[in-house]
Amino acid sequence: MRVLAAMSGGVDSAVAAARAVDAGLDVTGVHLALSRNAQSHRTGARGCCTIEDSRDARRAADVLGIPFYVWDMADRFHEDVIDNFVAEYAAGRTPNPCLRCNEKIKFSAVLDRAVALGFDAVVTGHHARLLDGLLTRSVDAAKDQSYVLAVLTREQLDRSIFPLGDSTKELVRAEAHERGLAGVADKPDSHDICFIADGDTQKFLRQRLGDAKGDIVDDSTGEVLGQHDGAFGYTIGQRKGLALTRPAPDGRPRYVLSITPVNNTVRVGSAEALDVSTVEGDRVVWTGGERPQGPIECVVQVRAHGKELPAVVTLRGDRLVAQLRGPERGIASGQAIVVYRGDTVLGSATITAAA
Partner 1 sequence: MLPQALDAYVETAREVGNASSLHGPGRLARKHIEESRERIAAALGARPSEVIFTSGGTESDNLAVKGIYWARRRPRVLASSIEHHAVLDAVRWLEDHEEATVDWLPVDSDGRLELASVNLDGGDVALITVMWANNEVGTIQPIAELAALAAAAGVPLHTDAIQAVGHVPVDFAASGVSAMSVTGHKLGGPYGVGALLLGRDVASTPLLHGGGQERDVRSGTLDVPGVVAFAVAVEHVVKEQQEEAARLTLLRDELIARVLEAVPEAALNGPATPRLPGNAHFSFPGCEGDALLLLLDAQQIAVSTGSACNAGVAQPSHVLLAMGADPVAARSSLRFTLGHTSTPEDIDALVAALPAAVDRARRAGTF
Binding-site annotation, residues for ATP: 6-13, 32, 125
Note whether 116 binds partner 1 by CB under 8 A. yes
Single residue of 22, 23, 43, 72 touching partner 1 by CB under 8 A? 72
- Specify the residue, 26 or 308, whose C-beta has the smaller distance to partner 1: 26
Contact present, 173 and 186 (Cβ < 8 Å): yes
Single residue of 24, 40, 262, 294 touching partner 1 by CB under 8 A? 40
**Shortest approach of partner 1 to residue 43 CB, angstroms?**
16
**Shortest approach of partner 1 to residue 29 CB, angstroms?**
11
Binders of partner 1 among residues 117 to 156 (CB under 8 A) are 117-118
- Specify the residue, 113 or 319, whose C-beta has the smaller distance to partner 1: 113
β 26-33/68-72 pair status: parallel
* Spatial CA neighbour of 102 closest among 41, 50, 52, 34: 34
Output the known binding site.
Answer: 6-13, 32, 125
Note whether 31 binds partner 1 by CB under 8 A. yes
**Shortest approach of partner 1 to residue 52 CB, angstroms?**
9
What's the rounded Cα separation, in Å, for the pair 166 and 137? 9
Stretch that binds partner 1, among 17-25, 74-82, 186-194, 258-266 (CB under 8 A): 74-82
Stretch that binds partner 1, among 86-94, 115-123, 134-142, 194-202 (CB under 8 A): 115-123
Single residue of 78, 113, 206, 283 touching partner 1 by CB under 8 A? 113
Note whether 76 binds partner 1 by CB under 8 A. yes
Active site residues: 101, 194
